[in-house]
Structure 1
């Protein structure tokens, strides 16, 4: 028995080696991302893979999620979905499985220790293919179908991430080998803590595929009056069931979801196209300018034109 233990190593010894490997991988990931993106901003070395760098914490930023796997090498970030708050760091990964309006904030970053992260888009076709190979085409148990969650970044998953980033030093190798490593990452996500969520929301399971259709419809028609009864009927669901499952996935009611989409688009119109507040509000579905101004201030903290002025001043103050 003693010889067997000596040959295989003690559990404590294996755990120590795993910890050392993970630490080495984290240090390598910091070094490689730091070389790949030397100034604040983002780069996309290959399609679907993005690197990010920031030298200071940010204010709350309104944006949208997609089906993606996100890892932080250095620093930390918070993402808000409805009333739920998710924080992740180098020891955890974030998995998003539906395109949703969210609010995010980098909370740890400095010039000496910049925030460094990466995001890998997850192709639903690839996820479905790996699901079939894994042998679990449907979720193995009932699970939370929330579109965002955070889990510990285990050593083998981190190792695959580092190998993917290494390939960016050689574009020729990346074209050939990166798809295989992306497939491995999907596999490790499917067999890991969030595997059932990925099956439920991204591909199959429960009512999630119906909610994905509703989300797509709301995104395309956010400027039109919201008719819950019609959407529920088209999906073959009762109104109460639709509300319940929609909030289970998005952490918002359909009305709150539509409001987020409207206000984000209005902000874009104000900032990019230079529309006045009344015109932007009308364009996204608000007939009452006063109502639009109140909703906008509640969402972004300032009335429309003052908010846009602040955004432009902040952009002008950033170093090139």
Structure 2
């Protein structure tokens, strides 16, 4: 006999349990790395300024408060109980929009394994996604209480470190299966569909991430996945929210920023290392993305830290 479906009240109770679990282990503001390598917890006691970063393949869940993520011109606002699935490495601008010391923002990020997605999708009798459902590398949706319950058990497992190696993989597998069976399922299925435009764009993006310092032409990328240049650009923008060259530019500029911030490299050297031949072009595009020239931006970030 099947269990009755969970009600909205049940969902609120599960979300409350998840908030208590996250708050227990993320006691201070910041990003908390956990004993489960794929899981990070996040806490903020005030709203934050927009930050440029790259979201990898995973699912982010807001447990308390609100957060905003901008991908190109598209904006995603998600609040408690909602999740943001990212199926490819994407440069985004993100900030917490609702948080206070009395009710801090709480969230978590769970990295996903594409091999686990492929294997689970192959074993499940899932309906094929509708052709009318366009593939996007980022999608927002509510999480059902059952999936939230599994995530809660994964966070609570941090209190039993000796059991993590045995139990965490089982809970992560259940999360993957429930994601495939839920509203994020069509996006995950389109990612793993062999020969689909989404997979071809993902292949190009993976190559760009490994080779962004090299000279790149969009037409060559299109040829590598056997698409015409116009079709490739159309699919790339539909998936990533930006053109191939805009994606490449953001990869280069974010890497240059990290080199200057973490290794003390000067702007000219950082620009050359990430593939720029012109120092003036590097400085101009850097200021356009981050709102200030390299030296002023790095000084501002260090003062803020």
TM-score normalized by the length of structure 2: 0.93
1:252 aligns with 2:237: no
**Deviation string for 1:97-155 (max 9, x for gaps)?**
01121111111122221211111111111111211221239645442211111001222
The residue aligned with 1:118 is 108
Question: Any gaps of 5 or more consecutive residues in structure 1?
Answer: 1-7, 9-13, 316-320
SS at match of 1:71: strand
Based on CA coordinates, which of the two structures has the bigger radius of gyration? 1
Taking the aligned partners of 1:204 and 1:78, their CA distance within structure 2 comes to 32
The residue aligned with 2:221 is 231
Would the alpha carbon gap of residues 129 and 140 (structure 1) be closer, same or farther in structure 2, given more than 3 Å must change? farther
Taking the aligned partners of 2:127 and 2:12, their CA distance within structure 1 comes to 34
Taking the aligned partners of 2:172 and 2:185, their CA distance within structure 1 comes to 15
Would the alpha carbon gap of residues 285 and 202 (structure 1) be closer, same or farther in structure 2, given more than 3 Å must change? same
The residue aligned with 1:289 is 279
Taking the aligned partners of 1:171 and 1:269, their CA distance within structure 2 comes to 35
Q: What RMSD, in angstroms, separates the aligned Cα atoms of the two structures?
A: 2.0
Quote the offset at 1:276 in angstroms: 1.9
Segment drifting more, 162-171 vs 291-300:
162-171
The residue aligned with 1:31 is 20
1:222 aligns with 2:227: no
Would the alpha carbon gap of residues 90 and 130 (structure 1) be closer, same or farther in structure 2, given more than 3 Å must change? same
Taking the aligned partners of 2:259 and 2:296, their CA distance within structure 1 comes to 14
Question: Which residue, out of 286, 289, 295, partners 1:299?
Answer: 289
Quote the offset at 1:256 in angstroms: 0.5
Segment drifting more, 203-212 vs 273-282:
203-212
1:92 aligns with 2:121: no
Taking the aligned partners of 1:104 and 1:132, their CA distance within structure 2 comes to 34
The residue aligned with 2:8 is 19
Matched pairs, number:
303
TM-score normalized by the length of structure 1: 0.89
Taking the aligned partners of 2:127 and 2:268, their CA distance within structure 1 comes to 49
Taking the aligned partners of 2:210 and 2:119, their CA distance within structure 1 comes to 28
